[in-house]
Amino acid sequence: MKTWMWIAVAVIVVIAAVSAYYLLTPDPNAGDRTKLERTFSTQEQHRLDTVTISGDQLAAATCRDGAACYVAVSGVVYDMTGFPTWVQRGAHHGVRAGSDATEAFVRSSHARDKLQSMPVVGRLAP
């Protein structure tokens, strides 16, 4: 066998091994409900105590046609305007803006710091 063929086979084997590793290794963040535990600044806590977003207001915040761009996670409404993928598509990994994304966030590979970085709008009305 020629040298270039051995190199091609070696590259294919390495790519297959790396792919298998990433596909078979569970994501440590996926399914971790503790990442819903978030600390709030004084300003954020004030917003949670004073601003209530109704289910209808959340549903209207779809990022489309100038609408706000919100999702709720664990009863807290977050502004997704600062995240371009949300604004451009009105969705992220199949989760639509204007919805409760709690379970999708728990299933995601996002770590706790992602939730911590999301701007708080207020509390979702019960």
HEC sequence for the chain: CCHHHHHHHHHHHHHHHHHHHHHHCCCCCCCCHHHHCCCCCHHHHHHHHHCEECHHHHHHCECCCCCCEEEEECCEEEECCCCHHHHHHCEECCEECCCECHHHHHHCCCCHHHHHCCCEEEEECC
Specify the pLDDT at position 70.
97
The strand pair at 70-73 and 76-79 is best described as: antiparallel
For the chain, give the percent of residues with pLDDT over 70. Answer: 86
pLDDT confidence of 19, banded at 50, 70, 90? low
Q: Which residues neighbour 113 within 8 Å (Cβ) at sequence distance 6 or greater?
A: none
What values do phi and psi take at 29, rounded to 5?
Answer: -90, -25
- The model's pLDDT over 63-84, given as tens digits with 9 standing for 90+, comes to 998 899 999 999 999 999 998 9
Global confidence as pTM = 0.76
User: Comparing 32 with 123, which gets the higher pLDDT?
Assistant: 123
pLDDT of residue 35: 76
Band (22; pLDDT cuts 50, 70, 90) = low
pLDDT surpasses 70 at 24: no
